[in-house]
Amino acid sequence: MIKYLGSKRLLAPRLAEIAERLGASTAADLFAGTTRVGQALRRRGIRVLSNDTAAYSQVLGHAYIEAGADVDRERLRALLAELDVLPGVEGYVTETFCRRARYFRPENGMRIDAIRAAIDRVEVTEVERGLLLTSLLEAADRVDSTVGVQMAYLKRWAPRAANRLTLREPEPVPGPPGTTTREDANALASQLDGVDLAYVDPPYNQHSYAGNYHVWETIVRGDEPDHYGVACKRIDVRERRSTYNSRRRSWDALTELVAALPVRWLIVSFSNEGFHELEQMQTLLGTRGHTAMVAVDAPRYVGARIGIHNPAGERVGRVSHVRMTEAVFVCGPDPAAIARAVDGALPVAV
């Protein structure tokens, strides 16, 4: 699975356990990112709608949420084997992300260009295409030269960048196949009639996922966009800013979302390093009925653990704390069911 800020790697199985205990059989993961939470829900037998505005998240959703028993895994493996041995070609990725910027070594960039172009030539279903693109994204992630965000690349190549980019089959996820959408969560909210539970994990600060993961977006879209700056970000990153990245607008967006969701149960992840106060959130979610709040200690983003550095790469300060507090809110109409659901499911050991 790709490196991703705010990914709920450790938390996902616990959230899914809570959802199962609440009796949910359908769930919407409205800000799906890596789709880890959706995958955990699916493993518990819950049918998932996976949504995110990012094209790369939808592709991960095709591979891990939509793909079902009807996927011909033998054919998939054969296709991946063919793609894996293609000779590299110079293309947009090599020029933009290996020579202008340095996210990958050129020999791997050339292989990304060759494989990406070939994926467009094979006749496959949307889900199969998602499986191929997911395999390419994950292979590229294993040989990138970043600290996990694509705002910058390392001054010296990361050791893993020297490895050969190698395609692997995305593991099948057991459980009922779900669906994916690529919509603004607020636009989707009112269309979720009949869904039992929604998981809400929006960005909580100004850092845009479209900017942080622009390389994945460009590889998935294959649209060779104009770019700007040293990081070679897609030009449309400037316009595609999420409301949730705006200090001024995010609270209203969240309030509107919470009011619009026609679901019985709501699980909300919250970080105390974002725009909003914990108490403020508690009050908002109180409008949905009963709320349990569980604090979760999570390892901070790795950049913080290695200290604060200035643009010249010198360490300029110590981080004040190396752990941040995340909270999970579980809301719904039945306090006893909520108490049973969270009992023992959290906190998460890290």
Ligand X SMILES: C[S@@+](CC[C@H](N)C(=O)[O-])C[C@H]1O[C@@H](n2cnc3c(N)ncnc32)[C@H](O)[C@@H]1O
- Residues within the interface to ligand X (CB under 6 A): 4, 6-8, 31-34, 36-37, 52-54, 57, 184-185, 201-203, 209, 242-244
Q: Helices 73-84 and 106-121 sit at what angle, rounded to 10 degrees?
A: 140
Nearest to 50 by CA among 72, 71, 28, 69: 28
In angstroms, give the least distance from the CB of 160 to ligand X.
21
Neighbours of 136 (CB within 10 A): 24
Please state, in angstroms and rounded to a whole number, the distance separating the CA atoms of residues 141 and 296: 27
Q: Please, which residue, 26 or 53, has the CB nearer to ligand X?
A: 53
Report the residue number, 90 or 297, with the smaller CB distance to ligand X.
297
Q: How far is the CB of 59 from ligand X (least distance, A)?
A: 12
Amino acid identity, residue 342?
A: V
φ and ψ at residue 234, rounded to 5 degrees: -55, 140
Q: How far is the CB of 260 from ligand X (least distance, A)?
A: 13
Least Cβ distance, residue 330 to ligand X (angstroms) = 16
CB 62 to ligand X: min, Å: 15
Containing 316, the helix (H) or strand (E) segment is strand 315-317
Minimum distance between the CB of residue 275 and ligand X, rounded to whole angstroms? Answer: 13
**Cα angle: 215, vertex 218, 224; to 5 degrees:** 125
Looking at beta carbons only, is 113 or 201 nearer to ligand X?
Answer: 201
Judge residue 120's burial from the number of C-beta atoms within 10 Å of its C-beta, 0-12 exposed, 13-18 middle, 19 or more buried: exposed
For ligand X, the closer CB: 103 or 270: 270
**Which residue, 103 or 204, is less far from ligand X as judged by CB?**
204
Chain residue whose CB lies nearest ligand X: 33
* Residue whose tokens read 């449309």: 236
CA dihedral 93, 97, 99, 104 (to 10 degrees): -100
CB of residue 12 to ligand X, shortest distance in Å:
6
Quickly list DSSP for 87-130.
PP---HHIIIIIIIS-SS-HHHHHHHHHHHHHHHHS---HHHHH
* Residue number, 37 or 149, with CB nearest to ligand X: 37
- Please state the closest distance from residue 333 (CB atom) to ligand X, in A: 24
Q: How far is the CB of 298 from ligand X (least distance, A)?
A: 11
Cβ closer to ligand X: 67 or 83?
Answer: 67
The conformation of residue 139, written as its DSSP 8-state character, comes to H
Cα(40)–Cα(48) distance, integer angstroms: 10
**97 or 244, CB closer to ligand X?**
244
Residue 14 or 105 with smaller CB distance to ligand X:
14
The verdict on whether omega for the bond into residue 347 sits within 30 degrees of 0, i.e. cis, is yes
Token couple for 132 = 């191929």
